[in-house]
């Protein structure tokens, strides 16, 4: 091959990439992913390069013009907006961060009880943190989940509320007790929170159905699933509801698609979780569920079931952190325990540290705390941001600082677990 032919081939490859998702011959772009390539002619190459250069120059000129215009006019941003951006400045994604996401729970109230306020704060934070996705840690739709695939609450509590441009990313959701049909109880009125005539129709199956993505492409919900967004990060999502024994006395326990059948597979799901974590070669392992294992919040007396079922398993698997909702607040605590660890087929005892993060302040809050010690607790509305780099995970709790109040509440830097 001559030097001129080699240059033409290299230019052809570059022009092909710049050409986007349609090949010059009009064939399926899937061929490009399989590595099929046909060189372009010299005339095609020169034409495409000229088009790209012209377009780039035009965009640069327009951008400079806009920048000058904004500089003269103040950019159309009020001083209040600038102040808000400053409040979330510490959320900005850093060059070493190869993954960023948000965590929020206990939110679906048709925009009421500060849900809209928190959603707007999440959007402002996301402008800087650039999340790849949002994790919802359950109780997605109050009071008792969805009652059909056409339930208007899906749009009212999700699509219409989380409409900020920076939140137009995938949402990965686990189920909470209210998503299973738990309607709660209003002591003042002496009745269930959700309409009785709709109770029998409420089922978690609607949230799990892929048809919902036709209504909003962002929505992905599951019971027990895993996600590996980058090679160094392995995320496991767990349905904690089957482990809460007190739920077995309620009428919604026996509904189709409900907890009764999930209880039967709870032990095998737990073993699968352990196997997944132990077999993973990811540097960072994170677990997400609805119920807390450690809490000083309203549900502090009901953590024993889930703690006994899952905490040791998660620590044996080498997870660095567990994220949950259920308590309508923000909390951070950490636990150090000696657990049996499988190292290359040999069981040995290791002391492991597990961080617990409660991010269940997506809407209604204000239930107070007990007397147990925590690293941090906040009884107001908010959410968490998570940024991952090779050397650390940075978890930050945020309040809805839309009027320049609160903002950053708490920061935790997690170091990797070294060794098996």
How many CA atoms lie within 13 Å of 419's alpha carbon, on the beta-carbon side? 9
Q: How far apart are CA 25 and CA 12, in angstroms?
A: 13
pLDDT band at residue 2 under the 50/70/90 scheme: very low
- Residues 89-93 have a mean pLDDT of 94
> What pLDDT score was predicted for residue 221?
97
Per-residue model confidence as pLDDT tens digits over 27-62? 332 222 223 333 444 444 444 444 444 444 444 443
pLDDT mean across residues, the chain? 80
Structure tokens at 112: 């009421």
SS3 411: strand
> What pLDDT score was predicted for residue 253?
87
Per-residue model confidence as pLDDT tens digits over 371-392? 888 999 999 999 999 999 999 9
Query: Is 357's pLDDT higher than 90?
Result: yes
> What pLDDT score was predicted for residue 122?
96
**Closest-CA residue to 141 (of 170, 179, 186):** 179
Among 3-17, 167-181, 264-278, the least confident range = 3-17
HEC profile for 209-230? CCCHHHHCCCEEECCCEEEEEE
Per-residue model confidence as pLDDT tens digits over 169-206? 999 999 999 999 888 765 554 555 665 555 667 889 99
**Quick one: how far is CA 96 from the chain centroid?**
20
More confident: 167 or 57:
167
Per-residue model confidence as pLDDT tens digits over 102-126? 999 999 999 999 999 999 999 999 9
**Closest-CA residue to 369 (of 339, 338, 329):** 329
Among 8-22, 131-145, 229-243, the least confident range = 8-22
Domain boundaries, the chain: 3-73, 85-414
Backbone phi, psi, residue 412, to 5° = -130, 130
Tally Cβ neighbours within 10 Å of residue 402.
Answer: 18
Among 1-10, 100-109, 297-306, the least confident range = 1-10
- Fold for domain 85-414? Purple Acid Phosphatase; chain A, domain 2 (3.60.21)
> What pLDDT score was predicted for residue 196?
55
Query: Is 218's pLDDT higher than 50?
Result: yes
Percent of the chain with pLDDT strictly greater than 70: 74
Query: Is 14's pLDDT higher than 90?
Result: no
Q: How far apart are CA 136 and CA 235, in angstroms?
A: 13
Percent of the chain with pLDDT strictly greater than 90: 61
> What pLDDT score was predicted for residue 250?
85
Structure tokens at 361: 């302040």
Per the listing, tokens 């895993």 go with 226
- Residues 303-322 have a mean pLDDT of 96
Query: Is 271's pLDDT higher than 70?
Result: yes
**Closest-CA residue to 398 (of 89, 82, 83):** 89
> What pLDDT score was predicted for residue 143?
84
Q: How far apart are CA 400 and CA 119, in angstroms?
A: 8
Tally Cβ neighbours within 10 Å of residue 290.
Answer: 31
> What pLDDT score was predicted for residue 181?
87
> What pLDDT score was predicted for residue 197?
52
> What pLDDT score was predicted for residue 55?
45
- Spatial neighbors of 152 by CB under 8 A, at least 6 apart, are none
> What pLDDT score was predicted for residue 85?
54
Among 52-61, 81-90, 105-114, 290-299, the least confident range = 52-61
pTM: 0.79
């Amino acid at each position: 091959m001559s030097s001129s032919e080699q240059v033409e081939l290299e230019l052809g490859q570059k022009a092909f990439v710049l050409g986007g998702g349609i090949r010059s011959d009009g064939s399926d772009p899937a061929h490009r992913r399989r590595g099929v390539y046909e060189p372009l002619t010299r005339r095609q190459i020169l034409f495409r390069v000229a088009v790209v250069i012209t377009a780039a120059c035009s965009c640069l000129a327009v951008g400079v013009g806009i920048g000058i215009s904004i500089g003269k006019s103040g950019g159309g941003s009020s001083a209040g907006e600038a102040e808000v951006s400053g409040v979330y400045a510490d959320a900005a994604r850093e060059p070493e961060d190869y993954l960023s996401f948000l965590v929020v729970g206990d939110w679906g109230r048709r925009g009421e009880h500060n849900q809209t306020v928190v959603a707007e704060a999440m959007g402002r934070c996301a402008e800087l943190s650039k999340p790849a996705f949002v994790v919802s840690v359950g109780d997605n739709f109050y009071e008792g989940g969805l009652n059909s695939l056409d339930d208007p609450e899906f749009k009212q509590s999700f699509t219409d509320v989380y409409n900020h441009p920076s939140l137009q990313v995938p949402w990965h959701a686990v189920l909470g007790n209210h998503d299973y049909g738990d309607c709660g109880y209003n002591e003042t009125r002496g009745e269930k929170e959700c309409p009785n005539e709709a109770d029998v129709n409420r089922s978690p199956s609607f949230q799990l159905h892929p048809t919902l993505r036709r209504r909003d492409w962002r929505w992905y919900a599951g019971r027990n699933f895993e996600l590996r967004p980058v090679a160094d990060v392995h995320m496991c999502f767990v349905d904690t509801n089957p482990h809460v024994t007190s739920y077995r006395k309620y009428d919604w326990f026996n509904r189709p698609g409900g907890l009764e059948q999930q209880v039967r597979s709870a032990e095998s799901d737990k073993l699968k979780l352990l196997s997944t974590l132990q077999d993973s070669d990811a540097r960072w392992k994170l677990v997400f569920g609805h119920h807390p294992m450690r809490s000083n919040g309203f549900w502090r007396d009901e953590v024993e079931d889930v703690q006994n079922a899952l905490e040791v398993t998660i620590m044996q698997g080498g997870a660095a952190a567990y994220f949950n909702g259920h308590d309508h607040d923000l909390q951070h605590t950490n636990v150090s325990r000696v657990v049996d660890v499988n190292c290359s087929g040999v069981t040995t005892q290791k002391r492991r540290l597990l961080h617990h993060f409660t991010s269940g302040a997506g809407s209604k809050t204000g239930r107070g705390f007990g007397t147990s010690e925590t690293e941090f607790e906040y009884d107001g509305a908010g959410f968490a941001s998570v940024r991952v780099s090779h050397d650390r995970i940075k978890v930050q709790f945020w309040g809805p600082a839309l009027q320049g109040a609160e903002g950053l509440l708490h920061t935790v830097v997690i170091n990797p677990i070294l060794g098996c």
